[in-house]
């Protein structure tokens, strides 16, 4: 199935979905179904047999399952020569190494494992890391619904770390700040020296703003996510690209280049 | 000069400026000069005699001086029957009472004393206080240049207090917030139970956003101040209005309808 | 049922919903059900008998039906002494007059008819009308999903008209604009002399920004609506208030104090 | 002067300014003066002799003069082996070719000619071009003071063209838009098929927002420029980099990589 030379690009890509009855899986099924260049040929969930995927002739599998079954799924995909796009969480460096090992034995197979399929969020982080070295000041303001348990969000923390690293590589010192008299918390949390503010309000969904400042100007990169469907363009992008990327690709970044 | 019955509205209003060579005073002189319906007839600063104001026939005086001389200036204005618009700081309730006493003896004279002549900032606070009772959630994000010493700003603190009071009057409970796992400071400072975030970045001047949220929607009121000249429309508004408002007016609010 | 003297405020308000199986009606049922101070006692739709409402002892009825049945519904409510909150469209001045006539004969009954129950949108328009007289410049930017047929939106047009009227009353001239060289359309549409820009993009829901500017500062009032549920707080507000407002109330404005 | 092998990086870079008494030139002198790693060794304007630059041992020259004298200045710089950073306008492809010819004969000399030294604006355009291929929808909103003569701004037009080109290269079709009923101008100007809206208001300086949208999410890149000083970080960046970039560099882009 993975021999790209033999693929007829005029035919729709045959896609199977694992975890097809979960929240994300259902969205993936809808999105694949609606894509003109794809065909949803197999949907598998707890209790179903993976062989249905092979019998249906799936070329790419999308896996939104759980950490306890995903490794077995992926080993099976590699053995069968089926490409995989994986949104399931829980990938440690150890697990990634194991996957790389399997793929080494099957040079034609591609796999994309990404913690975040939101194209907007990934580009926001990419642009933030690139802008970081050129601005004296930077702060992050993330905004979410009030049922969220952690503050700041994982995306904000990750963005702050990437910015801090880019600043360090460029030899930038600490962000200027003359604050002498602060009501505790007013200046936000510090993540690797970068100030992060977490706003919570009913009505909000998931939003983040990265504000850069230098003499006389500011640059703001803002991402607004309104619903779960926002991950689908990223999933479809990966489904289309994975066949041309043998081996393991971690994160959506390299596909957005 | 204060007898409004005799004023010919076709003639420009005769304005004197006290503290005319200070930073704010210079701006006031420029603004009065540029206003078609006003004439700058006297400019006084340290070392000059106030009698120049009377000799020039000033109908309204604008005072941007210092706390140690302002009371003497205002007593003189009331005695001379000259209306006054005052941006000088340091007015305690005691001082305001003293001014009210002087004015009681001169029923035709008006005086406007305001801590903030920025029309945008005053309207932002007014609207925020009005919206407060209708939204489950509210947070304040203020943004300033990094040379600022206090965080949050005085305007943000004042806004938070007004919002907290409006919520209490409407019987609203605390803002919903499920945060369990917080990097210290991420959720901002608490001013009377309202979360306030202070952002500092080179390039910024003075900005504030009040974010209200309820089911499925948010309302944002944002004020951006770019330079000192932003106070001038408020000063001119007060100069035009003070003659029709005998007695003491504190703050720009009542003039904004 | 409408004799407020006899109401026991400790008991939940008994609410009936007309058009209960429509898109909005379903949301209203959910919202009433979730409100601690209300009880959903009757749900009526096409084919059902209105008498169910009376039998259930409803004190307030919410009507999200259609222009062809709403008038009959409202006449019945007034006759039965049941207060009504109405979101159905199509109310001409003629229809409002007819409703006023019915209510004149039943002095204890209240009715709220509103074209828009979004508290945020209504406050945005209210604040915009109030700010209008104090700023030299003003423009409106509305942003919606790309399936919308009209540009600008009805809300933007209504806001522009209110602003234009407030400017006229304050004696303000045209907004300053030195544009000499314009690519057609760049400066937006003109609604009563106010520039309105309509942005359309996938991912957006319904958003509007009113930008006011004067020397050195801007004031922005922004409303973001994320889903249909955003109308519910306004509906519940009207349900709670209608019993204390005999006669006809048009629009949410008077309830927002 | 241009032999980088002999440069002692511990010594401040010796900088001369041409057009030193013009608006931009004055800002450049201040910025160079304030930079710890530079020394302002020569300031030249109309009527002064260029030889002062050579005598002062300038390593880099910054030219903010006029189209009628800039070519002579640059030929002289190349002959003298002095690097140049040029913000003067009026560079046609013909002029750039001539400069390339001069530089070909002096392989060690570097020159940066840029129409815009605002780092924020250049990054905004760079990021917009990169994001363009990943989003179904995109629109541009630029906001300026009301004394501006053209609409949309040159930066907005340039951004739109780059976005249109990136979309074409990625095989994207037209942006979705169901508008049927438009008040003329509401949907903005079309630049190569991209909608651009130009807002004008007193109080604004120079601002631009690029809004990208796809299913369930939007990405916004916003640039706010507050004063002329905003070009200085870009000028200093070029002054530091030009010695390591022999030949002609057009635009700030390659230096921000």
Q: Give me D150's structure tokens.
A: 């053209």
pLDDT value, residue A149: 93
What average pLDDT does range A217-237 have in this prediction?
91
Per-residue confidence of chain B (257 residues) as pLDDT tens digits?
444 456 787 899 999 999 999 999 999 999 999 999 999 999 999 989 999 999 999 999 999 999 999 999 999 999 999 999 999 988 999 999 999 999 999 999 999 999 889 999 999 999 999 999 999 999 999 999 999 999 999 999 999 999 999 999 999 999 999 999 999 999 999 999 999 999 999 999 999 999 999 999 999 999 999 887 788 999 999 999 999 999 999 999 999 97
Which one of A23, A27, A121, A217 would you mutate to disrupt binding with D, by most D Cβ within 10 Å of its Cβ? A217
b/e code B175-204 from CB counts within 10 Å (16+ = b): bebebeebbebbbbbebeebbbbbbbbbbb
| Minimum CA–CA partner of C211 in chain B | B222
Q: What phi, psi does D202 have (nearest 5°)?
A: -55, 140
Count CB atoms within 10 A of the CB of residue D12.
16
Q: Compute the distance between CA of residue D126 and CA of residue D149 in angstroms, rounded to an integer.
A: 26
User: Is C24 known as a binding-site position?
Assistant: yes
Task: Report pLDDT for C6.
Answer: 65
Question: Nearest Cα to A30, choosing from A179, A193, A236, A225?
Answer: A236
What are the distances in angstroms from CA B80 to CA B66, B218, D126?
A: 21, 52, 64
Identify whether A228 is preceded by a cis peptide bond (ω within 30 of 0): no
pLDDT recorded at residue D6: 65
- Round to whole Å and give the CA distance between B22 and B45: 8
Residue of A138, A184, A195 lying closest to B189 (CB–CB): A184
The DSSP secondary-structure symbol of D251 reads S
Sign of the CA dihedral running D161, D166, D170, D176: negative
Angle at B197 (CA atoms; ends B196, B201), nearest 5 degrees: 150
Q: CB neighbours (10 Å) of residue B153?
A: 20
Residue B220: closest CA among C191, A201, D199: A201
Token pair for B33: 């000069």
Q: Kindly report, residue by residue over B155-188, the tens digit of the pLDDT.
A: 999 999 999 999 999 999 999 999 999 999 999 9
Chain B residues with CB under 8 Å of C257 CB are 130, 133
Q: What is the pLDDT of residue C52?
A: 94
Task: Write down the CATH number for the domain with range D119-176+186-226.
Answer: 3.30.360.10
CB B88 within 8 A of CB B224: no
Interface with chain B: mutation pick from D120, D206, D226, D230, highest number of B CBs within 10 Å: D226
Q: What is the pLDDT of residues A18-62, one digit of tens each?
A: 999 999 999 999 999 999 999 999 999 998 999 999 999 999 999
**Mutation target vs C (from A121, A199, A224, A225; most C CBs, 10 A cutoff):** A224
Residue ranges per structural domain of chain A: 13-113+229-255, 119-176+186-226
Instruction: Quote the pLDDT of residue A151.
Output: 96
- CB of D14 closer than 8 Å to CB of D57: yes
According to the model, what pLDDT value does residue B1 have? 44
User: Which of C221, A59, D22 is closest to B221 using CA atoms?
Assistant: C221
Of A135, A146, A181, the CB nearest to B178: A146
Q: For residues A81 and A93, give the distance between their C-alpha atoms in angstroms, rounded to a whole number.
A: 23
List pLDDT tens digits, range A205-226. Answer: 999 999 999 999 999 999 999 8
**DSSP 8-state symbol, D180:** -
Q: Which residue of chain B is at minimal alpha-carbon distance from D202? A: B230
C-alpha distance from C181 to closest chain A C-alpha (Å): 26
A219: which chain D residues are within 8 Å (Cβ-Cβ)?
Answer: 119-120, 123-124, 221-224
What is the separation of C-alpha C47 from the centre of its chain, rounded to a whole number of angstroms? Answer: 27
Q: Spell out the alpha helix ranges (H) of chain B.
A: 23-34, 51-55, 67-80, 93-104, 119-131, 154-169, 232-241
Q: Do residues D88 and D115 lie in contact, with contact meaning Cβ atoms separated by under 8 Å?
A: no
Give C168's DSSP letter: H
Compute CA distances C2 → C52, C198, C202, C252, whole Å: 17, 45, 47, 21
Give C230→chain A minimum CA distance, Å: 8
Nearest-CB residue to C189 (from D148, D186, D196): D186
d(CA B177, CA C137): 38
CA-wise closest residue to A79 among A52, A55, A106? A106
Is A224 in contact with C203 (Cβ distance < 8 A)? yes
**pLDDT tens track, chain C, 257 positions:** 444 456 787 899 999 999 999 999 999 999 999 999 999 999 999 989 999 999 999 999 999 999 999 999 999 999 999 999 999 988 999 999 999 999 999 999 999 999 889 999 999 999 999 999 999 999 999 999 999 999 999 999 999 999 999 999 999 999 999 999 999 999 999 999 999 999 999 999 999 999 999 999 999 999 999 877 788 999 999 999 999 999 999 999 999 97
Q: Check CB contact under 8 Å for D205 and B224.
A: no
Which pLDDT score, from 0 to 100, does residue B8 have? 81
- C89 labeled binding residue: yes
Q: What region, left, alpha or beta, does residue D125 occupy, with left being phi > 0 and alpha being psi -120 to 50 degrees?
A: alpha
Q: Which of A219, A159, A215 is nearest to A189 (CA)?
A: A159
The A-side interface with D (CB below 8 A) comprises 118-121, 123-124, 127, 130-131, 134-135, 212, 214-233, 237, 256
Cα Rg, chain B, nearest whole Å: 21
Residue stretches of chain D with pLDDT short of 70: 1-6
Query: CA A171 → CA A136, A166, A167, A186, B73, distances in Å?
Result: 11, 9, 6, 28, 54
d(CA D207, CA B226): 13
Report yes or no for ipTM above 0.95. no
Among chain B residues, the shortest Cα distance to D203 is held by: B226
Is residue B160 within 8 A of residue B140, CB to CB? The reply is: yes
Distances (CA, A) of D42 to C138, D16, D28, D52, D54: 47, 4, 12, 7, 9
* CA D57 to chain CA mean position, Å: 27
Sign of CA dihedral A162, A167, A173, A175: negative
Task: List A200's β-bridge partners, or say none.
Answer: A144
Q: Cβ atoms within 10 A of the Cβ of A172, count?
A: 16
Q: How far apart are CA A124 and CA A118, in angstroms?
A: 10
CA distance B105 to B99: 10
Spatial distance between the Cα atoms of C189 and C192, rounded to a whole number of angstroms: 10
Share of chain A above pLDDT 90, in %: 90
Active-site amino acid positions of B:
144, 148
Q: How far is C214 from chain B (nearest CA, A)?
A: 7
* Domain D13-113+229-255 indexed as CATH 3.40.50.1400: no
Say yes or no to pLDDT of A228 above 80. no
Query: Which is catalytic among the residues D144, D158, D207, D223?
Result: D144
The pTM assigned to this predicted structure is: 0.89
Chain D residues with beta carbon closer than 8 angstroms to that of B233: none
From C22's Cα to the closest Cα of chain D, the distance in A is 25
| Residues 6 or more apart in contact with residue D248 via CB below 8 angstroms | D96, D99, D100, D103, D111, D113
Number of residues in chain B: 257
Give the burial class of A115: count Cβ atoms within 10 A of its Cβ; 0-12 exposed, 13-18 middle, 19 or more buried.
middle
Query: Is A148 labeled as catalytic in the residue annotation?
Result: yes
Token pair recorded at residue D223:
């640039």
Q: Which of A157, D182, B93 is nearest to C189 (CA)?
A: D182
pLDDT tens-digit map of A135-176? 999 999 999 999 999 999 999 999 999 999 999 999 999 999
Query: Which pLDDT score is estimated for C221?
Result: 98
Chain-chain contact of D141 with C199 (C-beta, under 8 angstroms): yes
Distance CA C92, CA D13 (A): 76
What are the structure tokens assigned to B203, written together?
């390039």
Asked if domains B13-113+229-255 and B119-176+186-226 share a fold, the reply is no
User: What count of other Cβ atoms lies within 10 Å of the Cβ of residue D105?
Assistant: 9
């Amino acid at each position: 199935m993975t021999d790209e030379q033999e693929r007829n690009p005029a035919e729709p890509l045959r896609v199977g979905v694992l975890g097809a009855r979960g929240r994300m899986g259902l969205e993936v099924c809808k999105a694949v179904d609606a894509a003109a260049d794809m065909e949803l040929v197999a949907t598998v969930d707890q209790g179903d047999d993976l062989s249905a995927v092979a019998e249906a002739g799936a070329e790419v599998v999308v896996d939104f399952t759980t950490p306890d079954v995903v490794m077995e799924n992926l080993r099976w995909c590699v053995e069968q020569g089926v490409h995989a796009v994986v949104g399931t969480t829980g990938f440690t460096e150890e697990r990634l190494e194991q996957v790389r090992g399997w793929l080494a034995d099957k040079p034609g197979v591609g796999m994309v494992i990404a913690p975040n399929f939101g194209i907007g969020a990934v580009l926001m982080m990419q642009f933030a890391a690139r802008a970081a070295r050129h601005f004296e000041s930077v702060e992050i303001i993330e905004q979410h619904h009030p049922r969220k348990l952690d503050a700041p969000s994982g995306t904000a923390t990750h963005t702050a770390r990437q910015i801090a690293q880019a600043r360090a590589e460029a030899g930038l010192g600490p962000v200027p700040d003359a604050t002498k008299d602060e009501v505790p918390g007013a200046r936000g949390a510090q993540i690797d020296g970068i100030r992060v503010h977490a706003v919570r309000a009913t009505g909000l969904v998931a939003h983040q703003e990265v504000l850069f400042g230098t003499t006389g100007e500011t640059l703001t990169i803002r991402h607004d996510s309104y619903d779960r469907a926002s991950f689908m363009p990223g999933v479809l992008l990966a489904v289309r690209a994975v066949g041309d990327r043998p081996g393991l690709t971690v994160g959506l970044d390299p596909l957005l280049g």
